[in-house]
Structure 1
């Protein structure tokens, strides 16, 4: 009996250390930032079994075998669509501001497509106004309505959107909606999906959370885009989920969520149509025929405005050029010469981004970061604080927004270049999730964005470096603990 126990114990220990060695090898051979690798190794060796399981669940961007195969096929389709779009040379911009030139060149080289000109843009500062505009566009839709959202929660204003979508589907409009499984749990547990599907609205649950497949696909890889396309020539994008801010998460004590949304009418929507078609193919396996995506009728609908705005659409995540949004942010930060304003609900930047922000302030750029006083993630809230000291010492002004959860993700460079989209300054958005960013090269639009950001600043409290330096030591200990975990957040 003792011999059997000894043999079993030896087998268990050998298997255990072989597993540790294999996971360590995977961490070391995976190309990633050194701090991230070190954090994973420390977690694995300090909490061996928990660390190994955690790494297998969240350590690699595993899309799953079926979706990975679809992603490769979708990429080939995307390349063909881009080549077709590029034959319409009149919609591409050849003249940019000095700030945007290198950024647009990078996008053209890595994505295969440049910035598009002649776009009408409207900035919505309030969710109510954005949804009211969207409802009007749904009512006027003639051919198709496509949507992607991370969170969709019924109630209030959202019920009006659902009603209009059902009416559109019944009059023959093709309605396709991609909703993230984790972000829309309560919605998919309600009766609304079946009601919408029965009416002809094609609702797809993206990246389905399945506990039986947790080791086969990374469960926290999410569809984080917020995007609407109507008749392939009107589009919406920004930070807004499909929720009524007066009802959404009322009981967590952070106040109403504050978001912005951009409405685009023009050639840039063709790129967003390509992005949606790729997402749809990855999730459903259904290929969207090229003639339905890009044809003479659609391109003729794009009336180029001589004074219109130039926009670069940047998708990021699985199937997109690796690390492209990280590169775009770095270029934008280093191009700043006068003023830089950043809004983000989750501030857990990479070392490179932190260095770029601090360097901008140290070379005389006026740098503002606007974050919510409280957000919905305790872990991120404490991890963010670990970066404050270095930012404040460099001369960065950190504003804590007091009137709700500021969920806006934006960067404004020298009152000329605007970045708006779904990307938070954290590891998950920068390297993992499906995201979308609009880069708008327009002083006129940037002035509008700056007015919005200044409104946020007027309802914020700036952190005093002296007071911050004298905060309690127990807070510093917690901050450092979560800073250690920041590469994993």
Structure 2
């Protein structure tokens, strides 16, 4: 049996660039459900997929052949066999270990499987490290959408053990789903109809809104063309408006100078700023890099917690009583300068309060708090290295400009079809 899997090439701009390059505005009247970890996320996603009548669009950075991956595969196959259009977009690095047999079963059932920027190993090592498809989005029947940081893998479940990840996603129903659907469809290379509100604008809509409505949602994303810094700008803008509280829970924290400065400035003007970071890292380098910034932030009153129960994988934040964001973007150079990412901005008091309560519980019961007046060992070495790292980080977006930028487009992958 020959299985054709489409790959997304990265050497040409997309033919439908206008459909892909869109600024989405604020949508009101949405219903939001915070989903914490795989225990909450997978049942809700799988329920929606089992009830799908017309279409399932899925993007994920990681899909493993474990109990979660096999359950997902079965659900997608059943959906395709009953006539549902199923499009699955996977990252070539994060999903590089999937077997031809696994992909073949999906393709044979009629699931369209796409791989973003695949690359052959060199000496047994994957080389396609940069500019990844890091988004995690599911849209079902254009009526319900899921977005966050949770991949389709068993390490997002508590029974995985000490290495199980702590993470968040949001289930969205309402008008904003149309934007998520349009975005997912366009990014997957499918044909889309562009309405007036989706056309590329001369002036982008504001990242902030003062509208006195609940359930406001706006989709923002990061690419390597027109939307290179939208997510970073959203954080900076929200922090500049903060008056009461800021809570940021982010797995890989090594932001640029402008974002660091806004965090520090918020604390300086009396805002209660809390950062929740990895204390039990899945990537040791990420923890070491984040700790280079502690002294800079602690001296101005930022409260830093390290989550120690299991690896933190979340990418969420809240400001004051209304503003929140949930998505795939870390606050590190990979997410802010290289990867393809997507977040939703949310203005909703109930959702903000629920997220705040969950993060406060995390900080209170499962974190250690860094002392304000801590005196680290080898302080002169740390000062020197910290200075160098800080300024390299400050200019990182310019440095990454030397790397080839991906301009995704779909390209049928036929010459390397798998023979099973």
Asked if Structure 1 and Structure 2 have the same fold, meaning a TM-score greater than 0.5 normalized by the shorter chain, the answer is yes
Aligned to 1:278: 186
Change (3 A) 1:308 1:362: closer
Shift >4 Å, 4+ stretches: 246-251, 481-486
Residue 149 of structure 2 is aligned to residue 239 of structure 1: yes
Match of 1:197 among 107, 110, 113: 107
Aligned to 1:288: 191
Aligned to 2:274, the other structure's residue is in SS state strand
Whether contact under 8 Å (1:311, 1:439) holds in the other structure is yes
Aligned to 2:10: 67
Match of 1:131 among 22, 42, 65: 42
Whether contact under 8 Å (2:137, 2:148) holds in the other structure is yes
Q: Aligned partners of 1:418 and 1:358: how far apart in 2?
A: 19
TM-superposed CA distance for 1:477, in Å, is 6.9
Q: Aligned partners of 2:314 and 2:343: how far apart in 1?
A: 12
Q: Aligned partners of 1:220 and 1:189: how far apart in 2?
A: 22
Q: Say which structure is richer in helix.
A: 1
Whether contact under 8 Å (2:50, 2:75) holds in the other structure is yes
TM-score with structure 1 length normalisation? 0.70
TM-superposed CA distance for 1:403, in Å, is 0.9
Whether contact under 8 Å (2:301, 2:372) holds in the other structure is no
Whether contact under 8 Å (1:410, 1:418) holds in the other structure is yes
Q: Aligned partners of 2:170 and 2:40: how far apart in 1?
A: 11
Change (3 A) 1:280 1:246: closer
Match of 2:369 among 454, 458, 462: 462
Larger radius of gyration: 1
Change (3 A) 1:211 1:70: farther
Greater relative contact order (Cα < 8 A, sep 6+): 2
Match of 1:310 among 213, 216, 223: 216
Aligned to 1:423: 329
Q: Say which structure is richer in strand.
A: 2
TM-superposed CA distance for 1:157, in Å, is 2.8
Write out per-residue CA displacement over residues 347-385 of structure 1, whole angstroms, 9 at most, x where no aligned residue.
Answer: 101111111100100110000000110222232221111
Aligned to 1:146: 57
Whether contact under 8 Å (1:313, 1:438) holds in the other structure is yes
Whether contact under 8 Å (1:155, 1:247) holds in the other structure is no
Aligned to 1:375: 281
Change (3 A) 1:69 1:471: same
Whether contact under 8 Å (1:382, 1:482) holds in the other structure is no
Q: Aligned partners of 1:319 and 1:476: how far apart in 2?
A: 36
Q: Aligned partners of 1:436 and 1:68: how far apart in 2?
A: 22
5+ unaligned residues in a row in structure 2: which ranges?
A: 1-7, 198-211, 401-420
TM-superposed CA distance for 1:307, in Å, is 7.5
Whether contact under 8 Å (2:278, 2:287) holds in the other structure is no
Whether contact under 8 Å (2:247, 2:318) holds in the other structure is yes
Aligned to 1:76: 18
TM-superposed CA distance for 1:249, in Å, is 12
Whether contact under 8 Å (1:385, 1:479) holds in the other structure is no
Q: Aligned partners of 2:359 and 2:223: how far apart in 1?
A: 27
Residue 28 of structure 2 is aligned to residue 120 of structure 1: no
Aligned to 1:100: none
Q: Aligned partners of 1:416 and 1:340: how far apart in 2?
A: 11
Q: CA RMSD in A?
A: 2.9
Aligned to 1:262: 170
The residue correspondences of 1:26-45 to structure 2 (distance < 5 A) are none
The residue correspondences of 1:323-472 to structure 2 (distance < 5 A) are 323-458=229-364, 459-466=366-373, 468-472=374-378
